[in-house]
Structure 1
Amino acid sequence: MVISTKAIVISKIKYGDSDLIVKCYTQELGMVSYMLKGVLKSKKGKVKTAYFQLLSQLDIETIHRANRSFQSIKDLRMNHMYVSLHTNVLKSTIVMFLAEVLSSCLIEEEKNRTLYNYIETAFLWLDQHDNLSNFHLLFLLKLSRYLGFYPDTTNIDFDFFNLIEGKFEDSETGLYTISGQNLVLLKRLLGINFDELNTIKLNSKQRQSFLKIMLLYFDLHLSGFKEPKSLQLFYQVFN
Structure 2
Amino acid sequence: MAIVTTKAIVLSALKFGDTSLIVKCYTQEEGVKSYLVRGILKPKKSGLKAAYFQPLTQLRIVANHNNKNTLNSIKEVQVIHPYKTFHTDIVKQSVVLFLSEVLSSSIQEEEQNSALYKYLETAFIWLDMHDKVANFHLLFLLNLTGFLGFYPDTSEINKKGFDLLDGVFSDNIYEKNVISKNDFNQFKKLLGIIFDTLENVTYSKVERQLVLQVIIQYFKLHLGNFRTPKSLQVLETVFS
What TM bracket, shorter-length normalisation? over 0.9
Matches within 5 A, 1:179-218: 179-218=180-219
1:116 corresponds to 2:117 = yes
Asked if the contact 2:21/2:36 (under 8 Å) is kept, the reply is yes
Which residue matches 1:49? Answer: 50
Name the structure 2 match of 1:92. 93
What is the CA-CA distance between 1:170 and the residue it aligns to? 2.3
* SS at structure 1 position matched to 2:189: helix
Q: Distance in 1 between matches of 2:21 and 2:86?
A: 22
Question: What residue is the counterpart of 2:102 in the other structure?
Answer: 101
SS at match of 1:69: coil
Cα deviation 1:138-192 (Å, max 9, x = unaligned): 0000000000000000001111100001000123251111112222233221121
Contact 1:162-1:173 within 8 A present in 2 as well: no
How far residue 44 of structure 1 moved from its aligned partner, in angstroms, is 4.2
Q: Which residue of 2 aligns with 1:145?
A: 146
- Normalization by structure 1: what TM-score? 0.97
**Which residue of 1 is the match for residue 61 of structure 2?**
60
SS in 2 for 1:73: strand
Residues 1:171 and 1:68: Cα distance change in structure 2 (over 3 Å): closer
CA deviation map 1:96-147 (0-9, x unaligned): 0110010100112111111111111111000000110010100000000000
Identity %: 49
**Cα distance, 1:76 vs structure 2:** 1.1
Aligned equivalents of 1:169, 1:116: Cα separation in 2: 32
**1:9 equivalent in structure 2:** 10
What SS does the corresponding residue of 2:77 show, helix, strand or coil?
Answer: strand
CA contact (8 A) 1:13 1:21 kept: yes
TM-score, reference length from structure 2: 0.97
What number of residue pairs does the alignment pair up?
A: 239
Q: Is the 8 A contact 1:18 1:40 kept in 2?
A: yes
Which stretch of structure 1 is more off in the superposition, 61-70 or 215-224?
61-70
2:52 and 2:102 map into 1 onto residues whose CA distance is: 21
Aligned amino acid, residue 60 of structure 1: I
Q: Structure 2: which 5+ residue stretches go unaligned?
A: none
Structure 1, unaligned runs of 5 or more = none
Conservation of the 8 A alpha-carbon contact between 1:57 and 1:79 = yes
